[in-house]
Amino acid sequence: MILGLLREPGDETRVALLPELVKELVVAKVEVLTENSAGEKAFASDADYEAAGAKLASREAVFERAEVLLQIQPPNDSDLSLIKKTQIWISVFNPLWETVLVDTFLKKGLTTFSLDSIPRSTRAQAMDVLSSMATVAGYKAVLEAALRLPTFFPMFMTAAGTIRPANVLILGAGVAGLQAIASARRLGAQVQVFDVRSAVKEEVMSLGGKFVEVEGAVEDKAAGGYAVEQTEEFKRKQQEAIDQHAAKANVVICTAQIPGRKAPVLIHKATVDNMKPGSLIIDLAASTGGNCELTKNNESVVHKGVTIIGQSNYPAQMPVDASRMFGKNVFNFLKLIIGEEGTLNLNFDDDIVKGTCITHQGEVLNERVKSIIE
């Protein structure tokens, strides 16, 4: 199999595979074609890739020769004009949300895989790019908040008086939220947490956070550990509780998401109106609309002294470890489609391969995407 490792477009600093894993693919008899400067922004040089056994090539040559094209970001129009039906495109493109892109893939008859659709089973844990990147995002969100806040995070008892610890409110205790709790606690903040899944209460408490319970949340075991849409009655009660906590918070970190839907709006403009000037909202759900009504994706806005940061790609601010984690997940996934002697072996009887494949020969294979598209 010839694997084409592409240089990421625009502001993306990560690379889908670092040289250390290219080496292992070469041992498995995979030919790796790396686009010139693919790893530059993640501090991996062309010489490092060559030393690992990759061959360097222009972008056009990679598109011309590779059987599998690997890039974290989805293809742009120019890429779409180059990809052939016989090739496989692997990236992360949120197919439950980016349905127009899925439709384009379908019409072009392309074979595409989206790594954010890897089933969340025990067997697939080592391939779970969502968890890896959410870990980076939760950590970075807290660091950014600590740097920007006009007050300390920890409590200080000094000769100049006692400084109270910062109050951090975290909405959503999934992978990013749990990492944010751990990071904020390490910096000495007091942390309050909301989630609609009662199962996370113990995890929140074990990390030193206070879980704020709102009665009446709808939970669905069939949702595979994810949240589902809530009733109007629950939303009203949750809103009141969040409003009270937000008014006392120095930092709000928003991570609440429902797969395939717009992120729930949990912080309305009126809530922000009542927040303390100088406080911060960091919205990690920005790419699907945000948990705050005032969030703008990849922008900062200030409303009555409250700064709202819509940030959907913190991993690009930590390219080395983010690429290392992403690459390890990709490598574990690639092992499923590498056959004997390094040949390409697409086995759609494997639930991980089938579940991650979004389009193939004019059909949608992923069941959840299929239910949305058709």
**Residue 329 contacts residue 352 (beta carbons within 8 Å):** no
Residue 225 interacting with ligand NAD (CB under 6 A): yes
Q: Which is nearer to ligand NAD, 229 or 363 (CB)?
A: 229
**Is 125 a residue of the active site?**
yes
Residue from 54, 204, 256, 292 touching ligand NAD (CB under 6 A): that is 256
Per-residue interface string for the shown chain with ligand NAD, residues 182-221, x marking contact by CB under 6 A: ------------xxxx--x---------------------
Measured between alpha carbons, how far is 191 from 7 in angstroms, rounded to an integer? 39
Q: Which is nearer to ligand NAD, 4 or 264 (CB)?
A: 264
Measured between alpha carbons, how far is 329 from 326 in angstroms, rounded to an integer? 5
Active-site hit among 128, 139, 279, 311:
128
Comparing C-alpha atoms, which of 254, 42, 228 is closest to residue 145? Answer: 254
Both tokens of residue 169?
Answer: 């409110």
**Is 120 a residue of the active site?**
yes
Cα-based distances in Å from 293 to 95, 96, 303, 346, 348:
24, 22, 11, 43, 41
**Residue 198 contacts residue 217 (beta carbons within 8 Å):** yes
Active-site hit among 46, 148, 186, 226:
226
Residue 283 interacting with ligand NAD (CB under 6 A): no
Q: Which is nearer to ligand NAD, 195 or 283 (CB)?
A: 195
Residue from 145, 204, 227, 253 touching ligand NAD (CB under 6 A): that is 227
Residue 3 burial (C-beta neighbours within 10 Å; 0-12, 13-18, 19+): buried
Q: How far is the CB of 20 from ligand NAD (least distance, A)?
A: 24
**Residue 139 contacts residue 132 (beta carbons within 8 Å):** no
Residue 70 interacting with ligand NAD (CB under 6 A): no
Length of the chain: 374
Active-site hit among 125, 244, 361, 371:
125
Q: Which is nearer to ligand NAD, 257 or 366 (CB)?
A: 257
Q: Which is nearer to ligand NAD, 173 or 306 (CB)?
A: 173
Residue 326 interacting with ligand NAD (CB under 6 A): no
Measured between alpha carbons, how far is 136 from 33 in angstroms, rounded to an integer? 28
Both tokens of residue 131?
Answer: 């968890």
Measured between alpha carbons, how far is 321 from 244 in angstroms, rounded to an integer? 37
**Is 243 a residue of the active site?**
no
**Is 91 a residue of the active site?**
no
Residue from 52, 168, 175, 316 touching ligand NAD (CB under 6 A): that is 175
Per-residue interface string for the shown chain with ligand NAD, residues 261-280, x marking contact by CB under 6 A: ---x-x--------------
Per-residue interface string for the shown chain with ligand NAD, residues 107-146, x marking contact by CB under 6 A: -------------x---xx--x-xx--x------------
Measured between alpha carbons, how far is 9 from 13 in angstroms, rounded to an integer? 9
Q: How far is the CB of 178 from ligand NAD (least distance, A)?
A: 7
Comparing C-alpha atoms, which of 351, 316, 352 is closest to residue 332? Answer: 352
Q: Which is nearer to ligand NAD, 57 or 133 (CB)?
A: 133
Find the residue with minimal CB distance to ligand NAD.
Answer: 174
**Is 128 a residue of the active site?**
yes
Residues in the interface with ligand NAD (CB under 6 A) total 30
Residue 21 burial (C-beta neighbours within 10 Å; 0-12, 13-18, 19+): buried
Q: Which is nearer to ligand NAD, 133 or 306 (CB)?
A: 133
Residue 206 burial (C-beta neighbours within 10 Å; 0-12, 13-18, 19+): exposed
Residue 230 interacting with ligand NAD (CB under 6 A): yes
Which range of residues in 2-10, 24-32, 147-155, 171-179 is near ligand NAD by CB under 6 A?
171-179
Partner residues linked to 69 by β-bridges: 4, 89
**Residue 97 contacts residue 260 (beta carbons within 8 Å):** yes
Using DSSP's 3-state secondary structure scheme, residue 209 falls into coil
Q: Which is nearer to ligand NAD, 257 or 271 (CB)?
A: 257
Both tokens of residue 52?
Answer: 């690992």
Contacts of 258 (CB under 8 A, 6+ apart): 226, 227, 228, 229, 264
List interacting residues with ligand NAD (CB under 6 A): 120, 124-125, 128, 130-131, 134, 171-177, 194-197, 200, 225-227, 230, 255-259, 264, 266
Active site residues: 120, 125, 128, 131, 226
